[in-house]
Chains A and B, each alone.
Chain A
Amino acid sequence: MSTLTGRTPGFRTALAFEWTKFAGLRSTRWTMAATGLVTVAGAVFVGVSGSLQPDDTVLGGSLTLSIVSLMIAGVVGALTVCGEYAAATVTSTFTAVPRRGRVLLAKAVLLAVLLYGVAFVSCTVAYLLGGAILEDGAYARGEPLPALFGIAALFAVVGVLGLAIGTLLRASVGSVTTVVAVLLLPSLFGPLFGDARRWVAGASPTAALEKLTQTSDAGPEAVGSLGAWPSLVLVAVYSALLLGLAAWRLRRRDV
């Protein structure tokens, strides 16, 4: 019947679909912008107020608020899928693309690419701004490269982590709460775990961020002795596993 023939839809068309949905909403555009702007604003604030510990680095100080940006990134990830459940557009999405794993993968790739780009640009701008405002020579500069690539990758990973949590929980409020809890609680409750603190707090995405930004908060007694890059890999691995679990659940349950 259909007179419309053409190439067979695949992953690329699913990605184009997700991009159209993502870009077509003011709310997602603004949240994405906020992810970048918060970090930059933090660098300006720290620079102007000079509120930097003497042993801190320019990189660590400039990226003080990147932890907030990281939370927004996780929330964006969760809302990418929870928003569809809330507006019931998930039925329209899955009737258009019944391969649910493909939909989830397209969302993950889109989030990862966008967050990597936004985080790399905003963190670089924040570092340069912070360095320009802060008094020359008063602080160690820290090593921005290749750390900035790792920080950008961490944003991508946390976006995917949020997506996985949102897919598993479906409800917006619960997912956002969980994302924030995963990022905040390990460092808050870490001290309660005694010797295990280094493991509890050290495995969190927050710890990876602190290590990558080389802030003075990232002492081994607080976040473990695992290096910055192994921490990033650890977070990436469990985020990928959680996404796999989310895909498995998504394919098996009723929409």
Chain B
Amino acid sequence: MNHLLELVTKPDNIPIVGLLLLVIFYSWLAWTKARKNDSQQLPDEARLDDKVQVWPYLVRVEFLAMLVVLLILVVWSVFINAPLEEPANPALTPNPSKAPWYFLGLQELLVYFDPWIAGVVLPSIIIVGLMIIPYVDINEKGNGYYTFKERKFSILTFCFGFLILWVSLIVLGTFMRGPGWNFFLPWQDWDTHKVVVLNNVDLSEYFGMPSHFPDNSLNIAASAFGFLVIAAFYLSLGGWHYMKYKNSDVVKKLGLGRYALVLGLFLTMMFVVLKILLRLAPPIFGGYPVKYIWVTPWFNV
């Protein structure tokens, strides 16, 4: 328990505790407002649409918010010192070495993906994916008020990405990843000597095809198999969805290009989840964790 207290009160971890509490609070707030709006004819925001003068009705709120924020920041800064560790030493690697907290979700993905995916491709997809949201969400409802009923898919997808894949992984990376990036429960002491069996296998081995021959040359059949698995993932789920919904209004209105884009991005998010599950789930059933799905001479997925 002392370890937990130490983790939670470590100066650099306080923002993450704050983030967690704020995210929970604001999710609850938004949910409450959405539920209330969904249960009535007009959203609350539409009832309050008469005009008020900015001076003083808006400016005073801004001024109070400014005072409160500055007060919190000054009190925080008076009582808690920003950390300053030993001088930089390129020859002495701390264990664990952690990226700044807001990148810990991506660092966690390094467990399941090679750096080119976790560190470069996925962040780029996240940024581009966020940017195109307004152009692919063609639902005209829910503009300017809290609602859930009118835009279930978009809200569920965004919340899954933000709350589960972004915030939770940050919390996991901060409080549950210790030396060697090994998993520890928050109250478990960080044992530097914890040994974890590394018995990951490539997916093709489950089907009797090792991805490399004993002389370490690549098994083309296993590589082709890996490619087919990934192609099948996208094509079967995507194809199934298209066959089922191709005549729906949403798909027609989106057009094939935008529809394929949304579907591809959504399936990629699911693929990340799938890869995590392939690593974490098999040991529960006595199997080997999956390292790669697709092995090639140039990159592995």
Tell me whether A and B are bound partners. no
